[in-house]
Amino acid sequence: MNLPTKLTIVRIVMSIVIIILLLFPFYSVGISFPKFIIGGIYVKSQYFIAGILFILASFTDFLDGYLARKNNQITNTGKMLDAIADKVLVDSVLIILACHGLIAPIIPVVVVLRDVVVNAIKMEAAGKGKVIAAISSGKIKTASLMVGIALVFFYNLPFEFWNIRVADFLLYFATIMSIISAVEYYKLNKSLLFEK
């Protein structure tokens, strides 16, 4: 197991910790997270902790890919785990944030649906011996999602002080890019999908 794959596994573990942090009823075991006010904005430290972990996990997403390419350590196992790690980290957090009322439900619906469609295309291509590389619209979508989610965890600070909804803009932009990238994946691989 090489270093990039180990980093990917670390990302999966961190994702699970974030999910537990956001969903576990800590009050039932006598644990409470402090709440405080920043510039008139009421914030929960629980989200700040999750936000820090999310940023670290997102950084490993960049780092494992960079190291795998740099050191020629790209493996099928690594690619599979990387795809799983991305979905566990981003999709689960989007669903939880929507359930907590922090983002619009349409965002995780579109993003998860897009992932299902793109993964189905990739699986069909893999069955025919072709590897589908990531496309630029998909990378833009992922980057926008990660920055937008991080800002949601930090209550859109400091932009919230000026009533500039940067987090919302990035997440809606990522939602639009999700649709665009799904269409592009389909167009680029249409002949492969329907070949006899």
Domain ranges in the chain are 3-193
Q: Using CA atoms, how far apart are residues 7 and 4, in angstroms rounded to an integer?
A: 5
pLDDT score, position 97:
97
For 130-137, the CB contacts below 8 A with 24+ separation are 130/192, 132/185, 132/188, 132/189, 135/181, 135/184, 135/185, 135/188, 137/177, 137/180, 137/181, 137/184
Work out the number of other CB atoms within 10 angstroms of the CB of residue 162: 7
The pLDDT tens digits along the chain (196 residues) read 788 888 899 999 999 999 999 999 998 999 999 999 988 888 999 999 999 999 999 999 888 888 888 888 877 777 778 888 888 999 999 999 999 999 999 999 999 999 999 988 888 887 777 767 778 998 899 999 999 999 999 999 999 999 999 999 999 999 999 999 999 999 888 887 776 6
| 3-193 classified as CATH 1.20.120.1760 | yes
Q: What angle do CA 138, 109, 131 make, to 5 degrees?
A: 35
Cα distance between residue 196 and residue 116, in whole Å: 23
Question: What burial class does residue 125 get, using C-beta atoms within 10 Å of its C-beta: 0-12 exposed, 13-18 middle, 19+ buried?
Answer: middle
